[in-house]
Structure 1
Amino acid sequence: METLVATKPLIKVAAIAGSLRKGSFNRGLLRAAMQICSESISGMSIEYVDIAGLPMLNTDLEVDGKYPPAVEAFRQKIRQADSILFASPEYNCSVTAPLKNAVDWASRTPNAWADKPAAILSAGGGFGGGRSQYHLRQIGVSLDLHFINKPEFFLNAFQPPAKFDSDGNLIDEAAKEKIKEVLLALHLFTLRLNGKC
């Protein structure tokens, strides 16, 4: 007699960094999240989605209801994802221009963000990117994004001891443990919103 084994549904997460710099600490947070997910969290996978190639938002680039190829590819990645993981650095007390540009492109009709669960990680100075997170949450209301409320993750990247190595990789074990908590919360929240738990 064949035994049926219940398996967890695979949650596909699109990970987006608001910084384009190769050694960005926020990109380092996403690399850490991807490693933690692959090693410790069953039923979830994270794919990094690069936003560097997106043109600046200009509706003149929309022709006959179509978007430029890089934008179409990006929007498709967002549509295919079950949830979103943002790494949002803080520039001038708000979200970065590349991140806002990506958010705006994917919000064009039809809104690719609609009804997606999301979480935010941030590394930065004194507030650890906190002000950018709160602005991103405000933007998310308009986009119909559903952010997890707890736990929050803010990391002061410049306070000793060192949190990142010279290549921008996260080396702080306590921070890694907090990222794992965020990922577990996002996983559970995604299942709840999709009616799977």
Structure 2
Amino acid sequence: MSKVIGILAGSLRKESFSKKVGKTLLDFAPDGFEFKLIDLSDIPLYNQDFDDHNEVPEAITKFRTEIANVDGVIFVTPEYNRSVPAVLKNAIDVGSRPYGKSVWDKKPAAIFSNSPGNLSAFGANHHLRQSLVFLNMPTMQQPEVYIAHVNDLFDEEGNMKEGGTKDFIKKAVESYIVWFNKNAE
């Protein structure tokens, strides 16, 4: 049976660079692995009343089930105001509740941050790492994946152009698979 790696893109925009990077990752799944894009667009903002009053929206139940059924996670994130986009933070919060029933626990993770600028979403990458520590998700340390000038990497059909960045991302995925195999329970 294949190991399933969920790919979460931290942007809802139709032409999101994070979604395009995530789509590129699908092609790099090695034998024995399935990479799966997980949509965040329908998840409502987390409200503890959902769980406290047993009124959990169907979209949250669906998301929690999807994450519970993956073996690892690759987060692909842009940066908003030097931090993680709200949609990605909300997904993390939704999956971590109710307290003691986190669907994230012990799933090996990697963070691929991206930006049209030079800083490559460094702030979002490191803020996300803080949350993953609390969630008990062993997170790949090397290589660090910061993708600068992401707006120049795709053709008109949204496919990543051949070149050094695509080669680096492929090698980063290979490193993640090694990391996953060492850390999966």
| The one of 167, 174, 191 aligned to 2:164 | 174
Consecutive unaligned residues in structure 2, runs of 5 or more: none
SS in 2 for 1:192: helix
**1:88–1:158: structure 2 CA closer, same or farther, 3 Å change rule?**
closer
Larger Rg: 1
- Report 1:142-181 matches (<5 A): 142-157=134-149, 162-181=152-171
Aligned to 1:120: 111
| The one of 165, 176, 179 aligned to 1:186 | 176
Could you tell me whether the CA contact under 8 Å between 2:6 and 2:38 is conserved in 1?
Answer: yes
**1:17–1:158: structure 2 CA closer, same or farther, 3 Å change rule?**
closer
- Is 1:96 aligned with 2:85? yes
SS in 1 for 2:41: coil
Could you tell me whether the CA contact under 8 Å between 2:108 and 2:184 is conserved in 1?
Answer: no
Q: 1: CA distance between counterparts of 2:35 and 2:137?
A: 18
- Is 1:132 aligned with 2:121? no
Aligned to 1:72: 61
**1:171–1:77: structure 2 CA closer, same or farther, 3 Å change rule?**
same
SS in 2 for 1:104: helix
**1:66–1:111: structure 2 CA closer, same or farther, 3 Å change rule?**
farther
SS in 2 for 1:74: helix
Aligned to 1:4: none
Could you tell me the percent identity over the aligned residues? 31
Aligned-pair CA distance for 1:64: 4.5
Number of equivalenced pairs = 182
Aligned-residue CA RMSD (Å): 1.7
- Is 1:11 aligned with 2:3? yes
Could you tell me whether the CA contact under 8 Å between 1:62 and 1:68 is conserved in 2?
Answer: no
Q: 2: CA distance between counterparts of 1:65 and 1:15?
A: 28
Q: 2: CA distance between counterparts of 1:22 and 1:172?
A: 23
- Is 1:58 aligned with 2:56? no
SS in 1 for 2:61: helix
1:51-99 Cα shifts (integer Å, max 9, x gaps): 0000011122235446211011111111111100110100000000100
| The one of 21, 34, 39 aligned to 2:13 | 21
With structure 2 as the length reference, what TM-score do the two structures score?
Answer: 0.91
Could you tell me whether the CA contact under 8 Å between 2:6 and 2:70 is conserved in 1?
Answer: yes
Q: 1: CA distance between counterparts of 2:39 and 2:134?
A: 23
SS in 2 for 1:20: coil
Q: 2: CA distance between counterparts of 1:36 and 1:194?
A: 19
1:84-127 Cα shifts (integer Å, max 9, x gaps): 01101000000001000011000103101011100111210221
Aligned-pair CA distance for 1:188: 1.6
Could you tell me whether the CA contact under 8 Å between 1:18 and 1:87 is conserved in 2?
Answer: yes
Q: Which amino acid letter does the alignment assign opposite residue 109 of structure 2?
A: A
